[in-house]
Amino acid sequence: MSEQAQPFTIEQFYKYMLQGKLMGGKCKKCGKIHLPPRPLCDNCFSNEFEWIELPQKGKLLTYTVIHVAPTQFQGMTPYVVGIVRLENGSKIPGMIRGVAPEQIKIGMQLTIDFGTCAATQPWPQWPRYFFKPA
Amino acid sequence: MFNYYSIFHINRGRKGEISRLKGKPLVSIVSAGLSKFGKLEGLYSREIFAQAAKEAFDRCPNLDPKKDIKALFVGHMGESYEHQGHTGATAADWAGLLHIPATRTEAACASSSAALTAGIYAVLSGLCDVVMVGGVEKMTHRTTPEVTEYLAMASDYPFEQWHGITFPGLFALMATAHIHKYSTTEKHLAMIAVKNHYHGSLNPKAHMQKEITLENALSSRVIAWPLKLYDCSLITDGGSCLILTKPELAKKYTDTPVHIIGSGQASDTIGMYEREGFTSLTAAKLAAKKAYEMADVKPEEIDVAEVHDCFTIAEIIAYEDLGFSKPGEGKCLVESGDTKLGGRIPVNTSGGLKAKGHPVGATGTAQAYEIYLQLTEQAGRRQVEDAEIGLTHNVGGSGATAAVHIYRRD
């Protein structure tokens, strides 16, 4: 199936991550870029999109260090999560690794890493990307 | 001086629907009930809700619950706690209101404000003369990691929960952004905790009824930096309810009704990361704007407020979103003592979610219960003198839902 024929779903977004690509859905009618892709444009209600590759670098907007985690993350504490604004303006949250929590600063440049993306498990289970200093 | 920048720069929604209602009572609260808040060992949520219902019925001898109450809306967030869903029917059954239409409303931590909104719709529609609205949650029998996981279900799954972002984590992301942008400090956050614990010490139904010091708060263990244990609300069991009727029928049931004169509820993206900024909640600003316009009331006219202090940073953001202060200056209100009992606008006299406790489904109508007590001069040691106009501000999740209600004494 050609790239453009893939469904504009969260599942497909994560499948692209397995290929090392950060992809968004661009509305063909109004041009809004959706990260993650959506089946219905929340701006103009169009359902026609095209896949576009998004920049893998961005700037840290805010962050926290999680010390008390849900059961499945307990073994990883403390860990850092943040929200990153990519170079095109899209925002995405994720864990931040490869830098000590006290070294982290709002505004620092980060890049996405797909290195730990394992094969997908049954839905809804996805690979876990993370961010690291650019 | 007040500044309305934070609420009045938003201009959405149609004007007509609100201007028709300007300042008129939408519905009247003729009774209210609240269970004890705390660790209610051995009780199911249906039994806790029955405690709240009993108080509301006892307060209102002119009410014949079986005959008068035409519908129940009950807020409840999680089935996981007790392996029990279908809370509408369960609550009606155990409150002795069998056979009335009973519906659960779910909007995370704003679930019972959503019930209140639904109750207002039901009464204003003319279909129901009297309705009961309320909420309940039983949480304390679960471990902290389990509760953390259940609460996180109110946030986005594929991008927030999946990447290990907890509920304290979401509000910590807001706190970091607020600290960075406005020089709010961890000490300001701790001051909110100290104030609300002081208020809680005056509330016999609060989960925590003891004062804490700034040192206690600042030295408590980190949950999600910069938020520490004392920045977080409590895992609590509790139930709450209100009896609503048409304003013209209120005096049939009580000499001291409290009128709801403004009601606003709004939504926002489920993923917090998608929002414009992380230092205010758009849904809260929109809900406030609608409620203020409907009530024809300005922020400086509010005498007492219950706001959603699920985490200390949320109360500072609430001051700003509600127009009690300019954006970025919420910290000044707690520093100056303006929002403490005896101050210019006491906030969270009940102890708030911080000290009274946060049984999530019960919280919205528990806030309304406190305002009902304040406006009918039944708040005891924490009574705000001559309180005429009150406000509640209830947030669901990280702000994907927010509800603001404004109340006036008769």
Q: Are strands B389-396 and B401-409 parallel, antiparallel or unpaired?
A: antiparallel
Local confidence band at B17 (pLDDT 50, 70, 90 cut-offs): low
Report the gap between the CA of A9 and the closest CA in chain B (Å): 11
Contact by Cβ (8 Å): B112, B75: yes
Residue of B nearest to A105 (CA): B180
Report the gap between the CA of B391 and the closest CA in chain A (Å): 31
B383 at A interface, C-beta within 8 A: no
Report the gap between the CA of B29 and the closest CA in chain A (Å): 38
- A68 vs B172: CB contact, 8 Å cut-off? no
Task: Quote the pLDDT of residue B6.
Answer: 43
Average pLDDT across chain B, whole number: 95
Contact by Cβ (8 Å): B206, B182: no
Local confidence band at A63 (pLDDT 50, 70, 90 cut-offs): very high
- A81 vs B177: CB contact, 8 Å cut-off? no
Residue B4 pLDDT more than 60? no
**Percentage of chain B lying above the pLDDT 70 cut:** 95
**Which among A62, A70, A92 has the least Cβ separation from residue B166?**
A70
Q: Are strands B227-228 and B222-225 parallel, antiparallel or unpaired?
A: antiparallel
Going across the sheet that includes A23-27, the strands are A33-34, A23-27, A49-53
Topology of domain A57-133, CATH: OB fold (Dihydrolipoamide Acetyltransferase, E2P) (2.40.50)
Express each pLDDT in B95-108 by its tens digit: 999 999 999 999 99
Task: Quote the pLDDT of residue A128.
Answer: 86
Q: What are phi and psi of B218, to 5 degrees?
A: -70, -25
Report the gap between the CA of B59 and the closest CA in chain A (Å): 41
Residue of B nearest to A96 (CA): B163
Mean pLDDT of A30-45: 97
Local confidence band at A40 (pLDDT 50, 70, 90 cut-offs): very high
- B145 vs A74: CB contact, 8 Å cut-off? yes
Contact by Cβ (8 Å): B287, B404: yes
Express each pLDDT in B278-325 by its tens digit: 999 999 999 999 999 999 999 999 999 999 999 999 999 999 999 999
Report the gap between the CA of B360 and the closest CA in chain A (Å): 18
Residue A30 pLDDT more than 60? yes
- B273 vs A73: CB contact, 8 Å cut-off? no
- Of A13-17, B233-237, B256-260, least confident by mean pLDDT is A13-17
Task: Quote the pLDDT of residue A123.
Answer: 64
B-chain residues within 8 Å CB-CB of A70?
A: 145, 148-149, 152, 161, 164, 166
Q: Is B119 helix (H, G, I), strand (E, B) or coil?
A: helix
* Catalytic residue IDs of B: 109, 358
List, as own/partner pairs, every contact residues B84-91 make where C-beta atoms lie below 8 angstroms and the sequence separation is at least 24, other chains included: B84/B44, B84/B45, B87/B45, B87/B136, B87/B361, B90/B45, B90/B46, B91/B46, B91/B49, B91/B134, B91/B136
B180 at A interface, C-beta within 8 A: yes
Mean pLDDT of B333-350: 98
- A76 vs B164: CB contact, 8 Å cut-off? yes
In chain A the first and final C-alpha atoms are separated, in Å, by 33
Give dist(CA B43, CA B356) in Å, integer.
Answer: 18
Residue B221 pLDDT more than 70? yes
Task: Quote the pLDDT of residue A124.
Answer: 67
B273 at A interface, C-beta within 8 A: yes
Mean pLDDT of A105-115: 94
> One-letter amino acid identity for B154?
A
A-chain residues within 8 Å CB-CB of B175?
A: 64
Local confidence band at B128 (pLDDT 50, 70, 90 cut-offs): very high
Mean pLDDT of B169-192: 98
Mean pLDDT of B115-135: 98
Local confidence band at B11 (pLDDT 50, 70, 90 cut-offs): very low
Local confidence band at B345 (pLDDT 50, 70, 90 cut-offs): very high
- Of A30-39, A113-122, B54-63, B189-198, least confident by mean pLDDT is A113-122
Label each residue of B348-376 as H, E or C. Answer: CCCCHHHHCCCCHHHHHHHHHHHHHHHHC
Task: Quote the pLDDT of residue B300.
Answer: 97
CATH 2.40.50 placement within chain A: 57-133
**Percentage of chain A lying above the pLDDT 90 cut:** 77
Mean pLDDT of B215-223: 97
Mean pLDDT of B86-91: 98
- Alpha-carbon torsion B89, B119, B238, B77, what sign? positive
> One-letter amino acid identity for B278?
F
Residue B16 pLDDT more than 60? no
B158 at A interface, C-beta within 8 A: yes
CA angle B76, B323, B309 (to 5 degrees): 35
Mean pLDDT of B238-247: 98
CA-to-CA dists, residue A100 to A26, A80, A129, angstroms: 36, 9, 18
Question: Class for domain B5-142+234-409, per CATH?
Answer: alpha beta
A-chain residues within 8 Å CB-CB of B163?
A: 81, 93-95, 128
Give dist(CA B132, CA B71) in Å, integer.
Answer: 6
B-chain residues within 8 Å CB-CB of A128?
A: 162-163
- Of A116-120, B51-55, B216-220, B277-281, least confident by mean pLDDT is A116-120
Residue B8 pLDDT more than 60? no
B166 at A interface, C-beta within 8 A: yes
**Token representation of residue A132:** 């690291």
Residue B362 pLDDT more than 50? yes
Q: Which of B159, B267, B313 to mutate to test the interface with A (most CBs of A within 10 A)?
A: B159
Residue B88 pLDDT more than 70? yes
B270 at A interface, C-beta within 8 A: no
Task: Count the Cβ atoms, other than its own, within 10 Å of residue B312.
Answer: 31
Give dist(CA A94, CA B345) in Å, integer.
Answer: 39
> What count of Cα atoms within 13 Å lies in the side-chain half-sphere of residue B264?
29
Task: Quote the pLDDT of residue A2.
Answer: 67
